A and B are shown apart, each in its own frame.
Chain A
Amino acid sequence: KAGVTQTPRYLIKTRGQQVTLSCSPISGHRSVSWYQQTPGQGLQFLFEYFSETQRNKGNFPGRFSGRQFSNSRSEMNVSTLELGDSALYLCASSWTGSAQYFGPGTRLTVT
Chain B
Amino acid sequence: SQQGEEDPQALSIQEGENATMNCSYKTSINNLQWYRQNSGRGLVHLILIRSNEREKHSGRLRVTLDTSKKSSSLLITASRAADTASYFCATLQETSGSRLTFGEGTQLTVNP
Is B56 an interface position by the 8 A CB rule? no
- Given A42-B104, A43-B88, A99 and B97 contact (CB-CB distance below 8 Å): no
Q: How extensive is the interface on chain A, given as a class?
A: 20 to 34
Is A45 an interface position by the 8 A CB rule? yes
| Interface-located stretch among B17-25, B42-50, B65-73 | B42-50
Is A75 an interface position by the 8 A CB rule? no
**A-side interface mostly:** strand
A100 touches B88 (CB 8 A): no
Q: How extensive is the interface on chain B, given as a class?
A: 20 to 34
From B30, B41, B45, give the contact of A105 (CB < 8 A).
B41
Binary contact readout A30-57 vs B (1 if CB under 8 angstroms, 0 otherwise):
0101010100001111001010000110
**B-side interface mostly:** strand
Which chain A residues border B99 with CB–CB below 8 Å? 33, 45, 48, 56, 58
Binary contact readout B83-112 vs A (1 if CB under 8 angstroms, 0 otherwise):
000001010100011111110110000000
Which chain A residues border B104 with CB–CB below 8 Å? 42
A50 touches B98 (CB 8 A): yes
From B31, B35, B97, B102, give the contact of A50 (CB < 8 A).
B97
Which chain A residues border B100 with CB–CB below 8 Å? 33, 35, 45, 92, 100
Bound Cα distance from A33 to B92, whole angstroms: 13
Ordered by A's residue number, 10 sampled pairs between the chains whose C-beta atoms are within 8 Å are: A33-B100, A42-B105, A43-B102, A45-B101, A90-B43, A97-B31, A97-B97, A99-B33, A100-B98, A102-B44
Seed contacts A55-B97, A97-B92; 4 additional CB < 8 Å A-B pairs: A42-B104, A48-B98, A94-B98, A107-B40
Q: List the interface of chain A (C-beta within 8 A of B).
A: 4, 31, 33, 35, 37, 42-45, 48, 50, 55-56, 58, 88, 90, 92, 94, 96-105, 107
